[in-house]
């Protein structure tokens, strides 16, 4: 299947954790413009609040090919009123503006917290606590399984996936939703907000694998219209299915969190 080649890229929320990891790695490959509340020191950017009038976003998006939408309060502890007024509104504005301005593809930063309540069940509860089951084969959580958000933040991200589905089908725009695993600046399993070091041996997404996933999503085949993929490295105790992303966009993670044991 033919791949699209998109040279012009928008990154919303470019100053956040993931944006700060991606920007230096993508700046030499694409013409990039960042959008955030404060200008980026890493890439050309503009100051703009994505929760404000989406029509102003349309003018910024004109002439670009792909939007990577990272704009949100990213803490899993974000309260509902902020999720509703900021995260969901921002996602709606970005995708609506993209669909009306000629953007060819949106990559929406969703979250593994859309299905976080599965981790209350066996064997996932054992894995995230380090009490590893004896079974050699773990039943993977797939994107076709019902959502089970574990927080208001997770509810917001699942709503974002629904917004993406609507605009993709209504306006025939390609949107890839990435349920991103554990990403941190130290790039290894550590204790961090909402994530224990033990859990992240299963859920870690390393920087190199994140960058690969984003690149594969940018250049996904032309028949990719709406997809949801888990973003995780090839960890021994990984419990999210990534076979679909291998088949559909060629994502094959190279790293395994076990190297930090």
- Size of the chain in residues: 261
Region 8-114+142-188+206-234+242-260: CATH code: 3.40.50.720
What distance in Å separates the CA atoms of residue 18 and residue 180, rounded to the nearest whole number? 10
Tell me the two tokens of residue 76: 């899993």
Give whole-number Cα distances, 119 to 106, 173, 261, in Å.
29, 33, 22
Alpha-carbon Rg for the chain in angstroms: 17
Percent with pLDDT over 90 in the chain: 91
The edge-to-edge listing of strands for the beta sheet with 174-180 is: 45-47, 31-36, 8-12, 66-69, 105-111, 174-180, 226-231
Report pLDDT for 6.
76
Q: Where are the domains of the chain?
A: 8-114+142-188+206-234+242-260
How far apart CA 15 and CA 184 sit, in angstroms, is 14
The answer to whether the CB of 154 falls within 8 A of the CB of 116 is: yes
What is the full per-residue pLDDT of the chain (261 aa) written as tens digits?
555 567 899 999 999 999 999 999 999 999 999 999 999 999 999 999 999 989 999 999 999 999 999 999 999 999 999 999 999 999 999 999 999 999 999 999 999 999 999 999 999 999 999 999 988 789 999 999 999 999 999 999 999 999 999 999 999 999 999 999 999 999 999 987 667 799 999 999 999 999 999 999 999 998 999 999 999 999 999 999 999 999 999 999 999 999 998
pTM for this one? 0.96
Whole-number pLDDT of residue 136: 77
**How many angstroms separate the Cα of 142 from the Cα of each of 45, 176, 179?**
36, 15, 11
| The 3-state secondary structure of 145-167, one letter per residue | CCCCCCCHHHHHHHHHHHHHHHH
Name the 3-class secondary structure at 82: helix
Angstrom distance (rounded) from CA 114 to CA 153:
8
């Amino acid at each position: 299947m033919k791949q699209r080649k998109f040279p012009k890229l928008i990154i919303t929320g470019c100053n956040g954790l993931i944006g700060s990891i991606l920007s230096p790695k993508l700046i030499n490959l694409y013409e990039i413009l960042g959008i955030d509340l404060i200008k980026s020191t890493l890439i050309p950017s503009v100051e703009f609040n994505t929760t404000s009038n989406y029509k102003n976003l349309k003018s910024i998006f004109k002439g670009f090919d792909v939007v990577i939408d990272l704009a949100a309060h990213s803490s899993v502890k974000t309260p509902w009123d902020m999720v509703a007024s900021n995260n969901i509104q921002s996602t709606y504005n970005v995708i609506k503006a993209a669909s009306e301005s000629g953007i060819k593809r949106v990559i929406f930063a969703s979250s593994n917290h859309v299905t976080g309540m599965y981790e209350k069940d066996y064997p996932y509860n054992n894995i995230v606590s380090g009490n590893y089951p004896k079974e050699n084969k773990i039943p993977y959580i797939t994107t076709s399984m019902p959502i089970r958000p574990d927080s208001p933040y997770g509810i917001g991200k699942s709503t974002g996936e629904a917004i993406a589905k609507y605009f993709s089908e209504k306006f025939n725009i390609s949107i890839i939703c990435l349920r991103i695993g554990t990403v941190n600046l130290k790039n290894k399993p550590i204790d961090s907000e909402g994530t224990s070091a033990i859990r992240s041996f299963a859920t870690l997404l390393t920087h190199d694998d994140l960058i690969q996933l984003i690149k594969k999503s940018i250049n996904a085949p032309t028949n990719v219209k709406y997809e949801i993929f888990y973003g995780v490295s090839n960890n021994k105790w990984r419990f999210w299915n990534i076979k679909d992303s291998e088949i559909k966009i060629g994502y094959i993670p190279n790293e395994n969190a076990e190297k930090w044991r």
